[in-house]
A and B are shown apart, each in its own frame.
Chain A
Amino acid sequence: MNPVISIRNLEKSYDQPVLKGVNLDVNAGEIVGYIGPNGAGKSTTIKILLGMIPDFSGEVTVLGRDIRTDALEIKRHVGYVPENAALYEVLTPAEFLLFMGRLYGMDDAVIRRKAEDLLQLVGLADQIDSRMTTFSKGMRQKVLLIAGMIHNPEIIFLDEPLSGLDANAVILVKEILARLREAGKTIFYSSHLMDVVEKISDRIVIINQGTVIADGTIEDLRHQVQSGSLERIFQGLTGDDSTSLRASEFFQALQ
């Protein structure tokens, strides 16, 4: 089976190198958890995969197409849920989703029907025509989730999709991701919430300082580091094992 995402020797620098030769294949129907410390290059990778950053070196293909030459066609078949809840607050969910859907060339009636159904399912039916200025972070995140999936994409990229969601909403999103996988969709997402990543990912990719340092199922990784939870594995792999010492020093300094 051909991978739906293929990354070869991906390098990208701004002032300093951010990605230093990333290699990665993702197969259809996988849920890939992409984790790493702050500044490791997670969001940059996702933006490159989406065709939002055109200048990089290396080979990147998504759905069998070269991201450099076919970005437009790829964008039609992938969805994106950004991290920082950036949307036009003064619009209502109905208006925002209509706008988004149109950019994907969808029919107005279809967008409206889907928007209503989906907002209903995440518990925002009453707010469908209210401006989002007053929405909580979790409510906005729900709207962004719908906006990223309304065109029924093959691959969904999620950047911290669960931030700001309450416990019930997290469970709901996890369930939704599981359904999407059953339907053969590929999900690629970055997160800091280790316990969630551990539970819902088929595969975990850990990136640190611009390179992939671990790639496999949670069992593989456990085996590799001889350690229990993903948090411990993460700590072991990213080389930060001085945290408990630093915590006690921190406490000392408060005295």
Chain B
Amino acid sequence: MINAVLWILDRLQGLFRRLGADYLSLRAIVEMKLLMDTRRNRSTLGRSYRNADSSGRLWLVYAMNAFFSLFIGLLVSFIPSVMTGMTVLFTYLIVMVALTLITDYAELLLDTTDNAILLPRPVNSRTIWLSRLVHLIVYVSTLALSMVLIPAGAAGYRFGWWLTPVVLLLSVQAVLLAVFLTTLLYLLVVRFTSEEKLKDIIAYLQVGLSLLFTVGYQVVPRLIRPQLTNLTDDGLHTWHYLTPPAWLAGVADSLVNHVFTPGHGVLLALAAGVPPLLLWVSSRYLATDFTTKLTAMGSTTQVHTARKQSRRSVGNWLAARFTRNATERASFELSWLLTGRDRRFKTRAYPALGFLLPMLFVVLRPILEGEVSFESLQEGRMYLLVIYSSQIVMGSFYMNSFQSEDFRAAWVYDAAPVAAPGDIILGNLKAIVFKFFTPFYLVVSAGLLFVWGPQILDDLVAGYIFAVFVTTLEAWVKSRYWKLPFSQEPKTRADSGRTIILMMMLFFFLPLCGLAHWGASFVPGGTILIAGCYAAMLWGTIQSYRKLRWEQFSE
């Protein structure tokens, strides 16, 4: 594949020369980057793969993309409305590409580690910038191709083979849209900030965007669901003009059904015009600044940033009250500080909050659409679904607290005279419970109390204990060896065996407990009994934590 890319680049070398790049250097850099891609553990959409032999790993990602695109292909072949089917396809493509970009963008374009290698060499900055851009486009295109090939084939099979190349061509526009929308956001951020804060802001941006896309991914299918059931074309709606995937779908619609309304003309103009416009805007106004700032970022080390940290925080106050000994307290405060400052943690853990919004959507949509009255909702026990799902958020925060960019710093636990490693684990667990889960749960509870009133207070208490209990249990189930907080390299995520157990937990254990709770809630005092059981089990796991020995921890 690398050779194919280089072959294409060779054909385009005149273009690169005209853009001011030293082509031979550019070719060498791109080749090196592509080679590294096949060996690197890249986090694609938050999933990483262990590098047993990672040269085949990129192919695995492609294969998985192709597999998931099968479903999109099925939709495309079964939805009668071309407009709807194509909107689904392009939404999927744009969302997936944008998500990939958000998680990998920093690594791809903002990767300043090669500054140290490239800047001292006789290579000009435009060559470096262009080689990064070429690399990004190659990376994204191959990913997009693996996602769109099967659906494009499905569309061709159904509407005539001439449509397949058209869909592929429209996909190029879709990818460009995704790339430039993401780029534009990043460039804007760079434009209005100092390089010192850039990476921090990008971290928050990643959180925000992932949230947005997670929600979008959940909401868009629901928006078009009425049309899925409707199953026929019913013309264009206002929202078509506002959603980029619909622009592209409009073009396919015109071609397949031979409809050329003024509305379709507008969609065609948007589909054809907006991506080049974005390219022009981003290169004309923002790219130069971006390059200089990037170059500056890796090469300067500001030593004296007089940003003083305050010494007292709520964390100290809580740690003093809710921990049993000095080690536990030290671990609690460390987690409190690191989770607030570690970019990695923030970008990985916060998006989990996004799962809540679709949940609200599920609960509230029937009311909003008038299908179910507020009163009949109150009679049901839908709140249990929300309560039991909130454990996922707790689990996500907790699991992420075991990884850190500074994982090597965990040597301190080995060097220090810590008798009971369980103290370290419990300190961290408590910090996560107090800092993230409790506030989150309070907000959720407030919402549920608003609908169902104080009669569900006991259910809320039971749910809270349950979430913490299951989290302590997950650590038991998921690994042969125990791990210390912030001691894992972010790249090595859970391997597949553990993921399966975790999945079983999500799809089997959580619903089962929810069901038991649901049943018990019909019996007077049943909920209290359930809460008592959870509390007893939580007490049990905590006691077992306290008995942990160092031998149970991996090297």
Which residues of A are interface residues toward B (Cβ below 8 A)?
Answer: 50-52, 72-73, 75-76, 80, 82, 84, 86-92, 94-95, 98-100, 102-105, 126-127, 129-131, 134-136, 139, 147
Contact = CB atoms under 8 A, between A and B. Distances in A.
A102 B327 contact: yes
Given A50-B414, A76-B417, A98-B330, 17 more contacts: A50-B415, A72-B418, A73-B417, A82-B411, A84-B408, A87-B406, A91-B337, A92-B309, A95-B337, A99-B334, A102-B327, A103-B330, A129-B308, A129-B310, A130-B305, A130-B306, A131-B305
Contact of B417 (A86, A105, A129, A136): A105
Nearest to B330: A102
B415 A52 contact: yes
A103 B416 contact: yes
Contacts of B330: 98-99, 102-103
A87 B417 CA distance: 18
Given A90-B338, A103-B412, A75 B309 contact: no
B338 A103 contact: no
Contacts of B408: 84, 86
Contact of B302 (A50, A52, A89, A134): A134
B415 A75 contact: yes
Contacts of B338: 88, 90-91
B306 A103 contact: no
Nearest to A84: B408
B303 to A, nearest CB: 6
Given A100-B412, A130-B305, A89 B406 contact: yes
Contacts of A84: 408
Interface string B393-419: 000000000001110110111111111
A193 B482 CA distance: 39
Contacts of A82: 411, 415
B245 to A, nearest CB: 39
A134 B417 contact: no
B291 to A, nearest CB: 23
Contact of B409 (A87, A98, A103): A87
Contact of A103 (B327, B337, B406): B327
A102 B326 contact: yes
B308 A130 contact: yes
Contacts, number: 96
A103 B486 CA distance: 16
Given A88-B338, A90-B341, A90-B342, A95 B309 contact: yes
Contacts of A51: 414
Interface string B412-444: 111111110000000000000000000000000
B57 interface: no
A134 B301 contact: yes
Contact of B406 (A76, A80, A90, A105): A90
Contacts of A76: 417
Contacts of A95: 309, 333, 337
Contact of A129 (B311, B334, B337, B405): B311
B329 A102 contact: yes
Contacts of B404: 88
Interface string B299-336: 00111111111110000000000000011011001100
A134 B310 CA distance: 17
Contact of B414 (A52, A73, A130, A135): A52
A87 B337 CA distance: 14
B419 A72 contact: yes
Contacts of B311: 94, 129
Contacts of B329: 102
Contacts of B341: 90-91, 131
Contact of A86 (B302, B310, B406): B406
B199 to A, nearest CB: 10
Contacts of B418: 72, 103
B417 A104 contact: yes
A135 B307 contact: no
Nearest to B199: A133
Nearest to B305: A134
Interface in B31-72: none
B123 to A, nearest CB: 22
A92 to B, nearest CB: 5
B517 to A, nearest CB: 40
A104 B416 contact: yes
A95 B304 CA distance: 18
A100 to B, nearest CB: 6
Contact of A80 (B306, B342, B415): B415
B326 A105 contact: yes
B406 A130 contact: no
Nearest to A135: B303
B417 A103 contact: yes
Nearest to B307: A130
Given A82-B411, A103-B327, A88 B303 contact: no
Point out which of B337, B404, B413, B415 has the most chain A C-beta atoms below 10 A from its C-beta.
B415
Nearest to B310: A129
A75 B302 contact: no
A100 B337 contact: no
Contacts of A103: 326-327, 330, 412-413, 416-418
A130 B309 contact: yes
